[in-house]
Amino acid sequence: MASQPDFIPFPSRRSVVHSTNGMVACTQPLAASCGLKILASGGNAADAAVALMILAAGMNMTEPCSTGIGGDMFCLYYDAKTKKVSALNGSGRSGSKCTLERIRSDLKLQDGESGEIPMTSVHSVTVPGAPAGWADTVNIFGSGKLSLAEILAPAADMGENGFPVSELTAQFWASGENKLRKASPNFSEILKKDASAGDGYRAPKAGELFRNPNLARTFRTLGKEGKKGFYTGRIANEFVKVVQDLGGHLELEDLVHHMELGTERVDPISLTFNDEVEVWEHPPNGQGIVALMALGILEELERGGKTSKFADMKHNSTEYLHALVEALHISFADATWWVTDPNEVDVPTTQLISREYLAERAKLFDPKKASKVHHHGSPAHNRSDTVYFAVSDRDGNAVSFINSNYGGFGMAAIPHGCGFTLQNRGANFSLEKDHPNVLAPRKRPYHTIIPALVTNKDDGSLHSVYGVMGGFMQPQGHVQVLLNQLAFKHNPQTALDAPRFCIGAGMPDAGEVTGQIVYLEDGIDKKVVDELRSMGHNVELVKGIRRSLFGRGQIIQSQMEEGQVVYSAGSDLRGDGGAFPAW
């Protein structure tokens, strides 16, 4: 067997894609073509981001088992002229009648009894933030050359004319078929007609054409009428009807309330890493702070000599994986307590990512064995969280964008004649009255979806936009993929292709990490697996289709060559998509 070339740190099946005119990286090639059309017709990165999102998003057209217009969105935007990073929080809220007492009663929970909102329960449905988020992304960051209707038109055309379903999407669609049937009387809107099937409908297979005229109609309404086309009128009425028919408490006024508030412009949070780059994430109620905390703890471990320098370690070695797993354990223990809606609760975001606090938390690390850390810290004692994609344009602007229904098809109920499912993001609320993330009326829950953006520390220029989708896997993926690039000098494609780990299948219990399974992807050395087990880690090796739990990521790197921006992109081989250059 020929030896591996020196320039390939990990044997990758895909090449890096380069371009000077912009780039789209996503899980769906058909979606990418939509974004590329917008770039070619004069739109900028934000215009293309919304066009691509609407086509690629799970419930939307080509990948309805991942995300859609019935979910939420977050984005980070890099302005090449000002070198400023901006953020939009497009997450929705619980209803005004969704009190803790009412929901606990509906779930038949007794006083003092712990419990949670099931992801299949109608009480997990929150107001969708995605429709307003798409419209506001275009209004705030867009070029002004294209209307929302023009941006949505390619997606609507595809829904009306049909599109071939891709391989992995077909598998995920089939796995969610029964969930659709159980959740909604309108399940047939997102299944394919087949007279030979039990009730005349089934999930579409790979390569088959699928049409969704109802979703196309929803897109055209949003494009023509703007936000009010979704949050009032026919769509809103059908949305509220299906929720209330299933016993939920959302009202038309809740949708109007979100529309009138609009998508929230927030200040992104960042952490300088290794004096080389500044890593940007969304603040709470998103879980991007987990990635920043873990990176900060890792830096403290290196500074304090508790670990070797990461650049000197072997990639995915026992020492390396132990340090990352432990840093993320500690970070999640904090996040599952502190991450909630900062408009409703005083979240100590600045303190959580301060060097002083991270140095204290780093003291919990034991280089010889797995920790028993399951408690959160108290950083405030001195005080009075899917599809992800990345887009860049020829002018150097870039968008890191993520949109999700949360659990696959979400709660899976479908408003009649609308062609999309409802998200189940409310399942992340706590039902414990003293918890910061406790359910309350018109409150945003802990959110898993997080876009990431990296700038160069010396001049503020764009280093990259990237993300790794997949529930609570996302901050874990952010840390691993970034270190692949910085410490091990992987290119964007190999950084994504390298085997990853995932704590708790991407769904860690609320801070209870003791005994939690650490899933390792096939390709990690068997000796490393055995050594981690000997240190007390509960390890399981994952192969085949189950590798989807490690998420699907995209990266677009940026650098200047002879005064011109050159983009280099990679797309995760765990998804159907790729990285595509603009022309």
Question: Can you tell me the distance from the alpha carbon of 242 to that of 409, in angstroms, rounded to the nearest whole number?
Answer: 15
The neighbouring-strand residues paired with 85 are 78
Question: How many CA atoms within 13 Å lie on the side-chain side of 337?
Answer: 17
Question: How many CA atoms within 13 Å lie on the side-chain side of 311?
Answer: 6
- The answer for residues whose C-beta is within 8 angstroms of residue 104's C-beta and 6 or more apart is 115, 431
Strands (E), 439-527: 452-456, 462-469, 501-503, 517-521
Sign of CA dihedral 108, 111, 115, 118: positive
Question: Can you tell me the distance from the alpha carbon of 521 to that of 518, in angstroms, rounded to the nearest whole number?
Answer: 10
- The answer for residues whose C-beta is within 8 angstroms of residue 437's C-beta and 6 or more apart is 337, 339, 340, 341, 345, 428, 429, 430, 445, 446
**Catalytic positions, please?**
386
Which tokens go with 237?
């009425």
The secondary structure of the chain in percent helix, strand, coil, rounded to multiples of 5, reads 35, 20, 45
Q: Nearest CA to 401 among 37, 69, 76, 58? A: 76
Sign of CA dihedral 155, 159, 163, 168: positive
Residue listed under structure tokens 């609009």: 262
Tally of CB atoms within 10 A around 563: 5
Question: Can you tell me the distance from the alpha carbon of 227 to that of 90, in angstroms, rounded to the nearest whole number?
Answer: 13
Opening angle at CA 55, ends 51 and 58, nearest 5: 130
- The answer for residues whose C-beta is within 8 angstroms of residue 354's C-beta and 6 or more apart is 379
Question: Can you tell me the distance from the alpha carbon of 476 to that of 447, in angstroms, rounded to the nearest whole number?
Answer: 15
Q: How many helices (H) and strands (E) does the chain have?
A: 18, 21
* Cα dihedral 257/262/265/269 (nearest 10): 50
